[in-house]
């Protein structure tokens, strides 16, 4: 399989090209272009989150813990009826960061197997839809940008899976490695309970996604009819 540097370089290259294309079409401004580039590049590293404990995995959980802790600290201040001071907010920030960086990471490592459910197209779709929903409902960005964020997650994720499959083919030795077919697969039959859960999550997330009209309008400009999809789009 491809190594960390190859995944990072490949994800950055593909995400950069897509980000410049979106900017060139006037879909996003310069700041949004940079955000989408970071989103796509980060997503290109996500499939290896189920790998054995390593520096990239630790760095990912540490970074997510810091971000979630910071957001949780301000959420507490907004929803707790009593006044919350700066020291209490810092305590929440540090507490959540440590929770994600250590117990959550250790528990995740015990529950997952490398090249399992995280190396599937189904997981890529679920994470892309989840990103779209979070961007729309939580971050309250415009529907077009929410869908673009989800699209860049999907693009980065698929870039990683594709590179892993390419690395499974030894062109010079004219042989296929045993790892071929374990990365770019629709779902994981060995982890079928998780696959069923992801299928249910896909249906649920589709009902929470924002209005796809801005995206469908862009597709219409390419000459691809989208009226049936627009008319029957699920919305809970």
Q: Which domain holds residue 103?
A: 54-113
Same domain flag for 35 and 59: no
Is there a domain that residue 236 lies in? no
d(CA 201, CA 191) in angstroms, rounded, equals 15
Domain count, the chain: 2
Same domain flag for 43 and 69: no
Same domain flag for 25 and 86: no
**113: alpha, beta or left? (left if phi > 0; alpha if psi -120 to 50):** beta
Same domain flag for 100 and 158: no
Same domain flag for 165 and 65: no
Q: 66: pLDDT confidence band, cut at 50, 70 and 90?
A: confident
Mean pLDDT on 174-196: 68
pLDDT, tens digit, 9 for 90 and up, residues 10-57: 889 999 999 999 998 888 899 999 999 999 998 988 887 766 556 666
Is there a domain that residue 226 lies in? yes
Same domain flag for 127 and 224: yes
Position 174 scores a pLDDT of: 46
Q: 171: pLDDT confidence band, cut at 50, 70 and 90?
A: very low
Residue from 73, 215, 221 nearest 132 by CA = 215
Mean pLDDT on 70-96: 73
Out of 93, 113, 133, a domain closes at 113
Angle at 136 between CA 135 and CA 139, to 5 degrees: 55
pLDDT, tens digit, 9 for 90 and up, residues 105-160: 766 666 555 556 888 899 999 999 999 999 998 888 999 999 999 999 999 999 99
């Amino acid at each position: 399989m491809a190594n960390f540097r190859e995944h990072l370089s490949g994800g950055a290259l593909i995400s950069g090209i897509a980000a410049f294309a979106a900017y060139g079409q006037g879909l996003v401004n310069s700041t949004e272009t940079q955000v989408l580039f970071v989103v796509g590049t980060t997503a290109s590293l996500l499939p290896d989150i189920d790998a054995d404990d390593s520096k990239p995995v630790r760095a990912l959980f540490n970074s997510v813990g810091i971000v979630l802790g910071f957001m949780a600290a301000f959420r507490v201040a907004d929803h707790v009826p009593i006044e919350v001071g700066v020291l209490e907010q810092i305590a929440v920030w540090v507490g959540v960061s440590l929770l994600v960086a250590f117990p959550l990471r250790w528990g995740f490592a015990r529950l997952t197997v490398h090249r399992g459910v995280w190396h599937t197209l189904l997981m890529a779709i679920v994470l892309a839809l989840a990103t779209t929903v979070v961007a729309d409902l939580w971050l309250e960005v415009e529907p077009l940008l929410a869908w673009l964020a989800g699209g860049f997650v999907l693009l980065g994720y698929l870039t990683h899976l594709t590179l892993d499959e390419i690395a499974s083919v030894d062109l010079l030795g004219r042989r296929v490695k045993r790892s071929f077919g374990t990365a770019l697969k629709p779902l994981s039959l060995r982890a079928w309970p998780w696959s069923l859960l992801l299928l249910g999550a896909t249906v649920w997330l589709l009902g929470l996604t924002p209005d796809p009209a801005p995206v469908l309008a862009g597709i219409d400009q390419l000459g691809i009819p989208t009226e049936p999809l627009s008319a029957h789009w699920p919305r809970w």
